[in-house]
């Protein structure tokens, strides 16, 4: 039986990942920031943990809880949009830092802490959430400075991670969910179940040859 950790799973895409991986028979560890979210995860059939991805002590505590447990896959799903659509002058440095702390630094610190678990797993999949918003070549229709830049930087860092971890057999892949009905989008877009079903099919087929790719729910690569 395969085992996965889904970080940032209290709602939205993360929670749907929990539902679908549990339904597919995986052992699912999942994280929430508070007790209410953890109870939701337990009710979905996951093994709940508490995690704030911006807090080093919280990441260390999670790594301690999972010590010695192989993980086939980690999905670092936690993310925030920040204030979207502001002109550059209205985006504070603190806001840029807040979005980067979650979407980039937190995600990187989390997978670094769980590397021993991934190395011990069979599938060895380090996964995080990118977006079409990460794409520089397709960016001609909105600003969204903090969010776009954080996801572009995540792409760059994940590509480096793919290079670093390839010799150890760990595939580092970014997933693009599409535009999905969640709190982040004001519940506009495609159904979360359809997006996650598409990404799950992608995950099931991944191997080391896919490392360094950014792959959509539709199986298509996202342009850099
Ligand atoms: P939601 O806003 O619905 O959910 C975000 C999740 O991330 C929540 O579970 C939230 O937990 C968690 N989270 C946020 N900050 C932290 C933190 N510091 N520590 C731990 N968990 C945290 O977002 P979506 O489900 O829409 O998005 C999930 C991922 O997919 C994100 O990375 C997003 O950027 C990406 N994405 C989403 C798209 C979409 O159309 N929805 C499109 C492209 C990418 P809590 O409940 O505690 O706040």
Total count of domains within the chain:
1
Indicate which atom in ligand 1 lies nearest the CA of residue 129. 32
Rg (C-alpha) for the chain, rounded Å, is: 16
Give the pLDDT of residue 89: 87
Report how far ligand 1's centroid is from the alpha carbon of 197 (Å): 17
pLDDT digits (tens, 9 = 90+) for 44-60: 999 999 999 999 999 99
pTM over 0.90: yes
Q: Which domain holds residue 54?
A: 3-216
Identify whether 221 is part of a domain.
no
Q: Which two tokens stand for residue 167?
A: 């010799």
Which tens digits make up the pLDDT trace of 142-159? 889 999 999 999 999 999
Distance CA(126)–CA(124), nearest Å, equals: 7
Residue range 90-111: mean pLDDT, rounded: 96
Q: For residue 166, what are the contacts with CB-CB under 8 A and spacing of at least 6?
A: 208, 211
Whole-angstrom distance, CA of residue 14 vs CA of residue 26? 15
Residues with CB under 6 A from ligand 1: 8-14, 32-33, 37, 51-54, 77-80, 102, 106, 129, 131, 177, 179-180, 182-185, 189
Catalytic residue numbers read 147
The two three-digit tokens of residue 160, written as one number: 């480096």
CATH of the domain at 159: 3.40.50.720
- Residue 44 located in a structural domain: yes
């Amino acid at each position: 039986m395969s085992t996965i950790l889904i970080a940032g799973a209290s709602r939205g895409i993360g929670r749907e990942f929990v539902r679908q991986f549990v339904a597919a028979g995986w052992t699912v560890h999942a994280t929430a920031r508070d007790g209410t979210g953890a109870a939701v995860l337990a009710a979905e059939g996951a093994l709940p943990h508490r995690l704030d991805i911006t807090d080093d002590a919280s990441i260390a505590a999670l790594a301690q809880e999972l010590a010695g447990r192989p993980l086939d896959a980690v999905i670092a799903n936690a993310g925030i949009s920040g204030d979207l659509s502001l002109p550059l002058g209205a985006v504070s440095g603190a806001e840029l830092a807040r979005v980067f702390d979650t979407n980039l630094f937190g995600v990187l610190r989390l997978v670094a802490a769980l590397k021993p678990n991934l190395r011990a797993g069979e599938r060895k999949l380090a996964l995080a959430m990118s977006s079409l918003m990460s794409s520089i070549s397709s960016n001609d229709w909105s600003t969204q400075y903090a969010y776009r830049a954080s996801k572009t930087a995540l792409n760059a860092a994940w590509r480096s991670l793919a290079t670093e971890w390839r010799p150890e057999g760990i595939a580092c892949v970014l997933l693009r969910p599409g535009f999905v009905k969640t709190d982040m989008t004001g519940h506009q877009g495609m159904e979360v179940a359809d997006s996650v079903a598409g990404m799950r099919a992608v995950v099931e087929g991944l191997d080391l040859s896919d490392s360094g790719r950014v792959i959509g729910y539709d199986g298509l690569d996202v342009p850099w």
